[in-house]
Structure 1
Amino acid sequence: MALPRQYRLRSPRSFSKVYRHGKRAAKRYLAIKALKNPSPDESLSSGPSSGLRFGVSISRKVHKRAVVRNRIKRQIHAALGRLLPRVSGDWWIVINVRTTATACEYNEFLRELEKLLIELEVLHGN
């Protein structure tokens, strides 16, 4: 299941704003930058009323083959789709995939994403 387009961070300007002003958390497979309540003039005109947006960044250093990189992105988008109902507030989040992620499976991505989002106070732990 792909992450709905309305929840995707697409413009390079948005990514750079998150990188400059966001809070950072990292684990073994993923590093996340999260920015709370981005200014409305920067947000995209089309989309949900909330400013919740996700972007996934994966380098060729992770794996040379695009097939592998795209599989990892699909797994992360699917994990985000499961966590989406639990996210409250307006956040812009950029997920950077680390080189160790090629050995990672969906359940590990889901667990690690959940832990990182709780650490950044995007999700509230249960």
Structure 2
Amino acid sequence: MALPSQHRLRSPRSFSKVYHQGRRLGSQYLAIKALKNPVPDDRSPKDLSSGICFGVSISRKVHKRAVVRNRLKRQIHAALSTLLPRATGAWWVVINVRTTAIDCKYYDFLRELESLLTALEVLDGN
């Protein structure tokens, strides 16, 4: 199940804004940067969602084959779509996948995303 398009972070300017101004939190498999109540640029109208937007970044250092990187990205998008109803407020979140995540399964990503996003107060803790 893919993440809905209105909840995807797309423009490179939005990614760089999150990298420069956001709060960072990391774990064994993922590193997350989150920016609360972002003010979008005039040139990025697709990122004007009133809710939450996610972006997933996977480097070639994680794995050389695009098939593997795309599988990891699909698993993360599926976990995010499960957690999306618990999101509160307007956030831009960028998720970086670490090299240790090669052997992760869906439930590993779900567990880590839930704990990290709750700690950053992106998700409701209840």
Q: Could you say which residue in structure 1 is the equivalent of 2:50? A: 50
Amino acid paired to 2:102: T
Q: Could you say which residue in structure 1 is the equivalent of 2:89? A: 89
- Percent of paired sites with the same residue: 72
Q: Secondary structure at the match of 1:59?
A: coil
Q: CA deviation at 1:42?
A: 5.3
Supply the distance in 2 between the matched residues of 1:72 and 1:107 (Cα, whole angstroms): 12
Q: CA deviation at 1:45?
A: 2.7
Amino acid paired to 2:26: A
Give the stretch that moved more between structures: 88-97 or 34-43. Answer: 34-43
- Give the 5 Å matches for 1:59-74: 59-74=59-74
Q: Could you say which residue in structure 1 is the equivalent of 2:31? A: 31
Supply the distance in 2 between the matched residues of 1:52 and 1:72 (Cα, whole angstroms): 21
Q: Secondary structure at the match of 2:84?
A: helix
Unaligned regions of 5+ residues in structure 2, if any? none
TM-score normalised by length of structure 2: 0.94
Q: Could you say which residue in structure 2 is the equivalent of 1:103? A: 103
Superposed CA RMSD: 1.6
Amino acid paired to 2:65: R
Moved beyond 3 Å, runs of 4+: 40-44, 46-49
TM-score normalised by length of structure 1: 0.94
Q: Secondary structure at the match of 2:9?
A: coil
Supply the distance in 1 between the matched residues of 2:70 and 2:41 (Cα, whole angstroms): 31
